[in-house]
Structure 1
Amino acid sequence: MADLPSLRKKIDSLDTTLINLLNERARVSLDIGNAKRQQDTAMDKKDVQVYMPSREKEIYDKRLNHGPLNDDSLQSIFREIMSASIALQTDVTVAYLGPPGTFSHQAAHECFGDSVLYVPQNQISDIIDAVEKGNTTYGLVPFENSTFGSVVETLDRAIHTSTRIRAETYLAVHQCLLSNSPLEKITKVYSHPQGLGQVQQWLSTHLPDAKRVSVKSTAQAAEMAAVEVGAAAVCSAICSELYGLDIVARDIEHGTSNTTRFLVLGKSSDKPTGNDHTMVRFTVDHRQPGALCDGLKVFKDYGLNLFKIDSRPSGIRPWHYVFFVECSGHADNDNVIQAIQDLNQFSVDVQVLGSFPNVRADL
């Protein structure tokens, strides 16, 4: 068995090799960035896409890990390597629902790593505005939760947007009750509507008389609870340190697999990977019997599975709705192109909101 000094010397040698290899990879990444810009010399620097979810999926899928590092640890390492690489190619900014400490902030960090600039926004519509106006490179918005369903603020803003979905990411959400007051003294609970929905059973059991107040984000809830006697916030444990609150209760969400799905928005979608989803928005003439049925049937006709259907008021007139459909395939695939063409025969205002790699394990 080797002695300790020899083992440490070997570690030092390996560290030197790792640094050299990382810098060699970084130089290649810079060359890739230059090649992207040379493909279209008229392209504005801000429009060059450096976040390539299809490429990341390819790297993760073909990576051979023989241990002893587990896959999650290795993926975290690769996440930071790729984060540093895209930051070398151009300045990358990511809008998210702030302030710091929200679950959106955590999801953005897990998706983009440490090497990009995060720009907190006050509400979901501000995130989409930032991407549309070119104020940030990308935006990350909450889309649905496994316990409380779709995020209506995101859907409502998606009725009118020029952004395109570029990727999806998932975050296991564990809600905590934070306060500087003991449980029996809490009379008011702040959180985002999604947060309150995910813990409504716990609140009904332990704080049935406390007033529930919806705010723009879980971190804002923590900010408000920190300066109000008898107030509490439903938010992440991280907010305890950020805003000086005690953790009164942990893991108060309903169910053991509470997960929120987020969408990454940009100016365009990425290329097909062979396992993609596409989001389509449209409306129909509600006075025509079977109009929605006819529109949805085209997806079956072209062998496209449907994973999610939502509807929201269009705002045009009462009882008129916009439909959001998520199907298998990529907008560049022939069967998706044909399905969208046929959908236009039965629907109006058909718009592809983007295609993105499917990263959900069970679909």
Structure 2
Amino acid sequence: MKTSPQRIIAHFDLDSFFVSVEILNNPALKGKPVFVGGAERGVVSSCSYEARRFGIHSGMPSKKALQLCPQAIAVKGSYCDYSKFSRWVTNIIASKAPLFEKASVDEFYLDLTGMDTFFNPLQWTINLRQQIIDETQLPISFGMGSNKMIAKMATNEAKPNGYLQVPFGKEKEFLSSLPVNKIPGVGEQTHAVLKAMGIFTINDISLKTKEELEKGLGKWGTELWNKSFGLHNSEVRACREAKSISSENTFHENKTDLVFLMSELVRLTEKIAFDLRQDGKVAGCVAVKIRYPDFETSSQQASIPLTCADDEIIPVVKELFHKLYRKGKPVRLLGVRLSELANEVVQASLFNDIERKNDLYKAIDDVKNRFGKLKLKRASSG
């Protein structure tokens, strides 16, 4: 019986990505405790390793970070630059990797299974990492192993700006001495339960029975037991999803009313932003299309910080329209397109008030799902 080839998974992670971009923009920040986030009411979305030594971490209120390290430098954030660099790294990986998944704005999984027939996968990945560093000047780490979990955990151990391969068959040996909260998905609450059970290292988990773990953690206990042996079956998902999402409207009568045209732009944008959120995606580029009665068609696009929020996309759509529109000329068709799509997780650290904004849009989308997309809309969309 033919056996499946040994899986070879690499995980890339840009080190302190936002801060690294800020240092490229301002080299004077290098070697200093720096974090991205508002100085008063904001939240830390990224911090330098120098800042981490003071206990600063992502998700911490900026005010708390400054209390821990008064000399820390708070940077507001250049989100357009982050999107640009993320796309740059994505394009480099896409040009080389046979199969890859963009897991977040700064994180990638590569499936190199079968490559060992033709190349040394480790050396190939080292070369790719060096290419990314040479072209972008960004520090980046990678891990390699038999599955996504092992590769990601190897990356975390290789940081900052390094790499680590976990040899096949050595997964449990690699995991054994690591603290239990090194396993992806083990948060503070689970960590507390495990410590109360006398479990401190990953090896301690493997010494328990599945039944013991299920008693304390439910179904998550069985999954955790499997992970303690390095077992993980999640696949690298090919980037085959739609490259863009769009909506357009051809009017029964040509339109010159600017108020109507603005309202229609808002409606179209709300529609595709809603669809984007339903697909769990964010977009990094927006375009507007105008067609006139003589079928002359023009379009213009702009890069935007990765987002799925109406209120961030609509102003760009209006600006593009005004750049394109021939004042007073009747319009036959209007269209809006969002492209450069990525998984929604990449957005998690781009808003200082991310939880509040996500809750707002979830409430809006819930109403639309229950009563129809047209039942709830902005006043400006008519």
TM-score over 0.5 (shorter chain): no
Please identify which structure carries the higher helix content. 2
Please identify which structure carries the higher strand content. 1
Q: State the TM-score, normalizing by the size of structure 2.
A: 0.25
Q: State the TM-score, normalizing by the size of structure 1.
A: 0.26
